[in-house]
Amino acid sequence: MVDTIENQSPHQVVIVGGGFGGLYAAQALGKAPVQVTLIDKRNFHLFQPLLYQVATGTLSPADISSPLRAVVSENKNTTVIMGDVRDIKPEEKKLIMASGEVTYDTLIVATGVSHSYFGNDQWETVAPGLKTIEDALKMRQRIFMAFEAAEKETDAEKRRAWLTFVIVGGGPTGVELAGAIAELAFSTLKRDFRNIDTSEAKVLLLEGMDRVLPPYTPDLSAKAEESLNRLGVTVQTKTMVTNITDNVVTTKQGDKVEQIPARTILWAAGVKASPMGKAIAQSTGAELDRVGRVIVESDLTVPGYPDIFVVGDLASFSHQNGKPLPGVAPVAMQEGQYVANLIEQRLAGYTMPAFSYVDRGSMAVIGRNAAVVDLGFVKFSGLLAWLIWVFIHIYFLIEFDNKLIVMLQWGWNYWTRKRGARLITGDESMGLIGVDSNGEYYSPKNTKSPVEV
Amino acid sequence: MVDTIENQSPHQVVIVGGGFGGLYAAQALGKAPVQVTLIDKRNFHLFQPLLYQVATGTLSPADISSPLRAVVSENKNTTVIMGDVRDIKPEEKKLIMASGEVTYDTLIVATGVSHSYFGNDQWETVAPGLKTIEDALKMRQRIFMAFEAAEKETDAEKRRAWLTFVIVGGGPTGVELAGAIAELAFSTLKRDFRNIDTSEAKVLLLEGMDRVLPPYTPDLSAKAEESLNRLGVTVQTKTMVTNITDNVVTTKQGDKVEQIPARTILWAAGVKASPMGKAIAQSTGAELDRVGRVIVESDLTVPGYPDIFVVGDLASFSHQNGKPLPGVAPVAMQEGQYVANLIEQRLAGYTMPAFSYVDRGSMAVIGRNAAVVDLGFVKFSGLLAWLIWVFIHIYFLIEFDNKLIVMLQWGWNYWTRKRGARLITGDESMGLIGVDSNGEYYSPKNTKSPVEV
């Protein structure tokens, strides 16, 4: 099942997904004696940890994306295919794409996760999540449109609903979104409107557990909540969301049920595995965990299939301390690199120990000057944490041109508190660019036709 | 009909359109003793002369856009409304918007033009034009998707069609697009593909007149054509387009009819007035010119309505030399400023001479190092022309943060020949992000459903 380097035709490694897991595997195999095929639906790698900055008007999509072909163009052994993998036939070592097929000797699946509404998929249209560029632009449109709608609204109660921003989920994404929206309302946009005072906006962060950033230590969670409060965010913990419509969020805190009128509701609460998880389970008999991730062996292979690896958010790896590794970029990067090394070692006739994640710490940014960092041996918050966060994020942005531009954009935003990328763009399908006299969104192309949001 | 400064309530100036004409009028009125209301469908000013750089993957939309509210936030007398003006009632001095109405004392209409297909509106879906951010993203998607499709295509003839780019119209936009696509194919993307040689691409620029850049002098047109040829663009003049389908352009050059197989066809040929032109004509009896622009008096007012001004591309002003002024940014800027001054003078009881355009020259960029500049007293081309073009465009970018970023992005692209913003984004409605096995575009969300392009 495993080729060796002496074989005639080079060993074919196929990687599905150009996120952190897939791309780091591809880069680590760039000089290896194998043929690499990198398949992604999109033509770019997306630096997902900064997606919330696109959603809140600081960065442009291109600032946090690198064309996949450009990233690997120096790797002579690597071919990039823009394609949509739909299924896998492990016995034939074949992938079925929307157009055509690809065969592999070794397969690395790194297709990640999308957001989950815990069985309430109808919430998706009213409470967008944040996984793709399109998601971020949709959020950006909603957020800035809400201020425009409030400016026009004469009814005080309706205006309050337009100025209420509810973020569901107090993990890193939710915390970062809430902080950025608070900065927008209470600082950036303050002098831009005439009928509303944007500082009357309410930014509400809802979390089901007893504290924000539940995976972090309690003292960092407390520090984060403090910083959020200082920015003007209202944090509400131990709160479950029981219903969402386009203008009301229903919450339950203990026995207390509350109806919160709000026109901008953002989802940062849960994830579910991409469809490749199910495809792998059905074709190999592999088990999936609660959110559909593939439960992998200690070397990241699918049980019984040493030629199929799963890395990144799609992998459920519990061999280290009994609970699955978190779905964050550093885990995906290390897994991708591990699998690349393992493939090279195997081809050379060697074996490798089980994968082991080296946790170099975790962090979340809350706003200008405010972040929390946990490096394991030391934890801190505030300006220093913010600087570390900035440094690490710039360091890992894959291409240098992006780094330079992003750094300057951040520097500029930091000093001026401006946000240049607050455009409301898109068309009907994306979520509409107008508000009619009833306060309904409408698309300017469809004369006066309010559409569902 | 004209108020004076002594009146109780301040004089209401309403400006429709936040392009160069409307925005320069608003800025010039920023300290005047009037109330200014600036209405635009979008929440940003767009620096249209650089739109082709978004379409070809150099700049991001936010780099060439400034939020309107931020631009005029220092003008205490100015209110911005994001709204869609649908009609005008000149006798009641009232504008009808998609939601609500606005009354004015003096009105400035600056809603510009969109592209025209000369009665062949069915060509719009196959040959997109370039007026909005969405247009530019659609073009960007088409251009980069074409290379992806060619990479996958095994049939040589079909591959050639994917690698053929036809730009219809040899004005500044057409010339700039053709130059940028040639640079992409022959330089930027050269090492990114494995199955195709992008330098086999054909970039064809079609022009109906006997030379490109027909409004310029013949020697500059010749210089521009030389530069285009050097970049690898095939220029075909005296050529009319008689039909366009999604994979064939039919041309007629004298008696010679030709069918050119091409999958990427871009429209840079004609303009038509925005609907406000018709609304003004119907309500005031004003005459429209051939493309629907309002024929204005020598002070840019609508005949018989001294309280209604039309500026920018929507105005047809022929009082200077018998033929209408060209639809370019400098004309719009000067018209906007003139009208603002006129309004202030009137309120103070003075009159002003007729509008007179000061032509400071024209220019077009062709590619890296190559541009043509005509300053009237001197004409030149090449690197110096390119540097002047760069300087002037950066100088006029309205907000400093954009200037800095754009300058750096250009510098970076110039030295590296990279283009970081070559993302294929958007969804179904925008024009689809995949190519199926038949070479048809499809949207990844709709499983295997090829859609019309």
Domain edges within chain B: 11-41+83-115+272-347, 121-269+362-430
Task: Supply the pLDDT for residue B374.
Answer: 82
Which two structure tokens, joined as six digits, stand for B79?
């209110």
Instruction: Supply φ then ψ for residue A159, to 5 degrees.
Output: -60, -40
Mutate to test the interface with A, among B38, B42, B43 (most CBs of A within 10 A): B43
Contact partners, residue A226, CB within 8 Å, separation at least 6: none
pLDDT band at B403 (very low <50, low <70, confident <90, very high): low
From the list B84, B123, B234, the residue with the least C-alpha distance to B170 is B234
C-alpha separations of B135 from A128, A216, B350 in Å? 25, 44, 44
Query: Do B79 and A401 count as a contact with CB atoms less than 8 A apart?
Result: no
Q: Is the dihedral of CA A237, A240, A244, A249 positive or negative?
A: negative
Question: Are B37 and B29 in contact, with CB atoms under 8 Å apart?
Answer: no
Q: What pLDDT score was predicted for residue A448?
A: 31
Q: Say if the Cβ atoms of A399 and B420 lie within 8 Å.
A: yes
Among A227-241, B184-198, B393-407, where is mean pLDDT lowest?
Answer: B393-407
Neighbours of B31 (CB within 10 A): 12
Cβ separation B425–A61 shorter than 8 A: yes
CB A130 within 8 A of CB A180: no
If residue B366 lies in a helix (H) or strand (E), which one and from where to where? Answer: strand B362-367
d(CA A239, CA A256): 9
Q: What confidence category does residue A8 fall into, taking pLDDT thresholds of 50, 70 and 90?
A: low
Residue in chain B closest to A141 (alpha carbons) equals B43
**pLDDT at residue B84 in the model:** 92
Token representation of residue B438: 């038949």
pLDDT tier at A346, thresholds 50, 70, 90 = very high
Fold match between A11-41+83-115+272-347 and A121-269+362-430? yes
Torsion of CA B321, B322, B324, B329, to 10 degrees: 10
In chain A, which residue's Cα lies nearest the Cα of B62? A421
Nearest-neighbour CA in chain B from A78: distance (Å) = 9
* Cβ atoms A115, A272 nearer than 8 A: yes
Distances (CA, A) of A23 to A110, A361, A398: 9, 22, 10
CATH number at A121-269+362-430: 3.50.50.100
- Give the C-alpha separation, A63 to A138, whole Å: 17
Taking 60 as the threshold, does the pLDDT of residue A430 lie above it?
no
Best B96, B99, B102, B147 residue to mutate vs chain A (most A CBs within 10 Å): B99
* Subunit contact A416:B401, Cβ cutoff 8 A: yes
CATH fold group of domain B11-41+83-115+272-347: FAD/NAD(P)-binding domain (3.50.50)
pLDDT averaged over chain B? 87
Mean pLDDT, rounded, for A277-303 = 97
Amino acid A394: pLDDT? 76
Which residue did the predictor score with more confidence, A284 or A442? A284
Q: Can you give the three-state secondary structure of B146-175, one letter per residue?
A: HHHHHHHCCCHHHHHHHCEEEEECCCHHHH
- Model pLDDT, residue A433: 45
User: Chain A closest CA to B226's CA: distance in Å?
Assistant: 30
Contact B401 A420 (CB under 8 A): yes
Q: Do B44 and A424 touch (CB under 8 A)?
A: yes
Rounded to the nearest angstrom, the minimum Cα separation between B327 and chain A is: 24
Cα→Cα distances B46→A323, A407, A412, B74, B259, Å: 51, 24, 21, 19, 36
Instruction: Name the residues of A annotated as catalytic.
Output: 176
B404 to A423: CB separation less than 8 angstroms, yes or no: no
Does A43 contact B422 at a Cβ distance shorter than 8 Å? yes
How close, in Å, is residue A38 to chain B by CA atoms?
Answer: 12
Identify whether the C-beta of residue B299 lies closer than 8 Å to the C-beta of residue B355.
Answer: yes
Look at A53-62, A188-197, A296-305, A410-419 and tell me which has the smallest mean pLDDT. Answer: A410-419
Q: Are B187 and B370 in contact (CB under 8 A)?
A: no
* Neighbouring residues of A335: CB distance < 8 A, sequence distance ≥ 6: A21, A300, A311, A312, A315, A317, A355, A357
Rounded to 5 degrees, φ, ψ at B423 are -90, 145
Using CB atoms, pick whichever of A401, A418, A433 lies closest to residue B418. A401
Question: Is residue B439 within 8 Å of B149, Cβ to Cβ?
Answer: yes
A-B contacts at Cβ under 8 angstroms: 174
For testing the chain A interface, which of B42, B47, B82 should be mutated: the one with the most A CBs within 10 Å?
Answer: B82
Measured distance CA(B431)–CA(A93) in Å, rounded: 33
Chain A: closest CA distance from residue B22 (Å): 18
Question: Chain B: residue nearest A422 by CA?
Answer: B67
The first and second tokens of residue A12, run together, are 């074919």
- The answer to whether residue B449 scores a pLDDT higher than 70 is no
Nearest CB among A401, A418, A427 relative to B401 is that of: A418
Chain B positions in Cβ-Cβ contact with residue A63 (cut-off 8 Å): 60
Distance CA A214, CA A222 (A): 10
**Measured CA distances, A24 to A101, A210, A300, A332, B327 (Å):** 24, 36, 15, 8, 50
For the residues A202-227, what does the mean pLDDT come to? 93
Nearest CA in chain A to B83: A434
Mean pLDDT value across residues B88-105: 95
Q: In chain A, which residues have their Cβ closer than 8 Å to the Cβ of B134?
A: 425-427
From A285's Cα to the closest Cα of chain B, the distance in A is 25
Contact A225, A212 (CB under 8 A): yes
> Considering only alpha carbons, which residue of chain B is nearest residue A415?
B401
pLDDT surpassing 50 at residue A232:
yes
**What does the DSSP assignment read for B249-272?**
EEEEETTEEEEEE-SEEEE-S-EE
Q: How far is A44 from B60, CA to CA, in rounded Å?
A: 15
Q: For residue A179, how far is the Cα from the chain centroid?
A: 17
Nearest to A423 among B44, B404, B447 (CB): B44
Which of B12, B422, B443 has the most A C-beta neighbours within 10 Å, making it the best mutation to test the interface with A? B422
Q: What phi and psi, each to the nearest 5 degrees, are found at residue A30? A: -60, -30
Report pLDDT digits (tens) over A168-214: 999 999 999 999 999 999 998 998 999 999 999 999 999 999 999 98
Distance (Å) from the alpha carbon of A57 to chain B's nearest alpha carbon = 9
Asked if pLDDT for residue A445 goes beyond 60, the answer is no
Q: CA-CA distance, A239 to B62, in Å (whole number)?
A: 37
For residue A93, the model assigns a pLDDT of 98
Contacts of B416 (CB under 8 A, 6+ apart): A401
- Looking at chain A, which residue has its C-alpha nearest residue B82? A148
Distances B79 to B95, B332, B369 between C-alpha atoms, Å: 16, 21, 42
Paired sense of beta strands A202-206 and A233-236, if any:
parallel
Q: Which residue carries 């690395």 as its tokens? A: A108
In this prediction, residue B438 carries a pLDDT of 54
Provide the pLDDT for residue B287. Answer: 98
What is the chain A residue with the closest CA to B77? A194
**Per-residue model confidence (pLDDT) at position A168:** 97
Cα A279 versus chain centre, distance: 22
- Residues B126, B453 contacting (CB under 8 angstroms): yes
The answer to whether A70 contacts B404, with C-beta atoms less than 8 Å apart, is: no
Residue of B nearest to A149 (CA): B82
CB contact (8 A) between residue B404 and residue A402:
no
Separation CA B153–CA B157 (nearest Å): 9
**CA A400 vs CA B62, B142, B409, B416: distances in Å:** 20, 26, 12, 11
Candidates A51, A58, A63: best to mutate against B (most CBs of B within 10 A) is: A63
CA dihedral A320, A324, A330, A332 (to 10 degrees): 110
Q: What is the mean pLDDT of residues B18-26?
A: 96
CB contact under 8 A, B437 and A192: no
Nearest-angstrom CA–CA distance, A317 and A326: 9
Nearest to B69 among A99, A192, A448 (CB): A192
Q: How far apart are CA B50 and CA B55, in angstroms?
A: 9
Lowest mean pLDDT among B79-83, B281-285, B341-345: B79-83
A364 or B414: which leads in pLDDT: A364
Bridge partners (DSSP) listed for residue B280: none
**How close does chain A come to B441, measured CA to CA in Å?**
11
User: Do residue A424 and residue B43 have CB atoms under 8 angstroms apart?
Assistant: yes
CB contact under 8 A, B134 and A425: yes
pLDDT of residue A402: 62
